[in-house]
Amino acid sequence: MSTSSEYHNATKYDPETIGNMPEVDWSAQPRPFKEFHSKTRVELRPHLLLARDEEDDRPILQQPDPTSPDYELSRLATLLLHINGVTAQQPTHDEPVFFRSAPSAGALYPTEIYVALRQVNNVEDGIYNFQVKDHTLAPVLEGDYWRDLQAHTNEPLSLGTAKIVILLSAVFLRSSWRYHDRAYRRILLDTGHVLGNLMTFGSELGYAPTTISHFNDQAIDEMMFFNKEAESTLILAALPDDTAPVEPLGVSTAITGNLVENNIQRVHQAAMITAQESPSTRPKMPEPLVGSTAQLTFALSRRPISWEDDLGPTILLRRSTRTFTGATMTSEQLGMILGFGYRGIKADKSGQFLDPARIATYLSVHRVEGLDAGLYRYDPCNSRVLLLRRGYFAREDCEIGLGQELMRDASVIVYHLADIDDAVTSTGERAYRYLNLDAGHIGQRINLAALKLDLGVSGIGGYFDDQVNELFHRPLTEGVIYATCIGQPQPQG
């Protein structure tokens, strides 16, 4: 059995043992920010390409002006806000909770964002940390790091024309403090959501974001001076610019607090790539559903979501739904949401997704007009669902979701499953990282599409794993990677 499967199995929630989880020690919560004591910051707020609608105060994205000397910085400032900037605050007795444009399990925000820059007007070449709280860039490393990035990533093409590379790292303790060994799953899913914002919104600003998943972990982490057990790079993305081809402050980033959970270290380090390995093969397309028959197969709408100017505002105004009314949604909405969730699945050579073909999507339909209540498998290639079993499984879903009523009152629950050992056999232990990042990425697309269609949505990271397999009659070799509930939101206020 692979290290990834062992980790996944060891971190399952089980009704028999969930009561043995240690109490949450709120006084021990690490801050969800890194501090940099640097006097020179790049202020990003003045460069935001945002206006406000006079009537309803909605944010309106302004088009970047390629002739302006502020062109690069204004796009970067705007992109970072949409990737994972602060979009709301909630006062507490202590420091406010700063909610961000991507959701995060428990609002713990383990993902850090770094930006490598070269030849960006008015900004010194170097690597910067995105300081979300005050929307600034703090210098981390001075100079042009493209040679190092190229040496450690095997990715000369997208890097060659990019002026910006985004690096997403995990600060493990922020999440493991609360979720212990299972935190690694949520860290990857959270980071997948951040990646989802980057990959979907980047093109609105004229970037062609390309993920760089195959890199020499140790070399990149050492370049960043990460405290190896506390923080590690999960994924990079180059932002080549299709408009202008490019000619080809030493601050310690050490943070305190080590990764306390040994299982997280084990699974993360098992997936590290060394300099000698060749890049993993790109995934195949998913096979058409086996055994699908005309009577049991239902076509879903292929209508694409018409975003017009709404993608940016949807990201900035996004919040996870806390209560559903239990009312119905339509199968057209379901088709449009899942279609957007998987948009680009056929274009994975572009580096959008890492290995999405390995994720199987199952649905527990409670109330969707046009579909009987029951259990289905979704076929993303043909935009259709295969009915597996009729029935109303809201009570089972609620139990699966640790009793969370969201899971009972949603119109549909989307479950992502994957054969972890099979993925590891073809791609190595790294596959586990890809599966979780992709599930988070798809999850973020599902979030955005549902909100655009005026529905509510929330990711669900807490579930009894094996009960999902039982419900769908899936073998335990298939791990449950993520769940998302979609439905009619209870109006707030």
Ligand X SMILES: Cc1cc2nc3c(=O)[nH]c(=O)nc-3n(C[C@H](O)[C@H](O)[C@H](O)COP(=O)(O)O)c2cc1C
Q: Please give the residue ranges that form the binding site for ligand X (CB under 6 A).
A: 99, 103-107, 186, 189-190, 193, 319-320, 404, 406, 458-462
| Closest approach of ligand X to the CB of residue 256, in Å | 25
| Closest approach of ligand X to the CB of residue 461, in Å | 3
Distances from the Cα of 122 to the Cα of 75, 84, 203, 215, 249, angstroms: 13, 23, 23, 30, 16
Sort strands 210-212 and 162-171 into parallel, antiparallel or unpaired: unpaired
User: Of 292 and 490, which has the nearer Cβ to ligand X?
Assistant: 490
C-alpha distance across the termini of the chain, in Å: 50
User: Of 189 and 423, which has the nearer Cβ to ligand X?
Assistant: 189
User: Of 58 and 319, which has the nearer Cβ to ligand X?
Assistant: 319
Closest CA to 162 of 75, 234, 250: 75
| Closest approach of ligand X to the CB of residue 108, in Å | 8
| Closest approach of ligand X to the CB of residue 179, in Å | 10
In angstroms, the CA 333 to CA 455 distance is 9
Please list, in sequence order, all residues whose beta carbon lies within 8 angstroms of the beta carbon of residue 30, skipping any fewer than 6 positions away.
171, 173, 174, 177, 257
Q: Which residues of 450-484 are buried (b: 16+ CB within 10 A; e: fewer)?
A: bbbbebbbbbbbbbbbbbbbebbebeeebbbbbbb
| Closest approach of ligand X to the CB of residue 449, in Å | 15
| Closest approach of ligand X to the CB of residue 372, in Å | 27
User: Of 116 and 451, which has the nearer Cβ to ligand X?
Assistant: 451
| Closest approach of ligand X to the CB of residue 443, in Å | 7
Contact in structure between 280 and 352 (CB atoms under 8 Å): no
| Closest approach of ligand X to the CB of residue 59, in Å | 16
Sign (positive or negative) of CA dihedral 280, 285, 291, 292: positive
User: Of 131 and 404, which has the nearer Cβ to ligand X?
Assistant: 404
User: Of 1 and 21, which has the nearer Cβ to ligand X?
Assistant: 21
Please state the separation of Cα 192 from the chain's center in Å: 2
User: Of 400 and 423, which has the nearer Cβ to ligand X?
Assistant: 400
Closest CA to 47 of 75, 82, 28: 75
Give the neighbor-by-neighbor strand order of the sheet with 210-212.
42-43, 136-142, 126-131, 111-117, 162-171, 231-240, 210-212
In angstroms, the CA 166 to CA 127 distance is 9
Instruction: Quote the DSSP letter at residue 184.
Output: H
User: Of 32 and 461, which has the nearer Cβ to ligand X?
Assistant: 461
| Closest approach of ligand X to the CB of residue 441, in Å | 11
Q: Which amino acid is at 454?
A: D
User: Of 189 and 236, which has the nearer Cβ to ligand X?
Assistant: 189
| Closest approach of ligand X to the CB of residue 32, in Å | 11
Q: Which amino acid is at 341?
A: G
DSSP 51-111: EE-TTT--EEEPPP-TTSTTHHHHHHHHHHHHHH-EEEEE--SSSPEEEESS--GGG---E
In angstroms, the CA 315 to CA 196 distance is 10
In angstroms, the CA 361 to CA 75 distance is 35
What length is written for the chain? 493
User: Of 173 and 398, which has the nearer Cβ to ligand X?
Assistant: 398
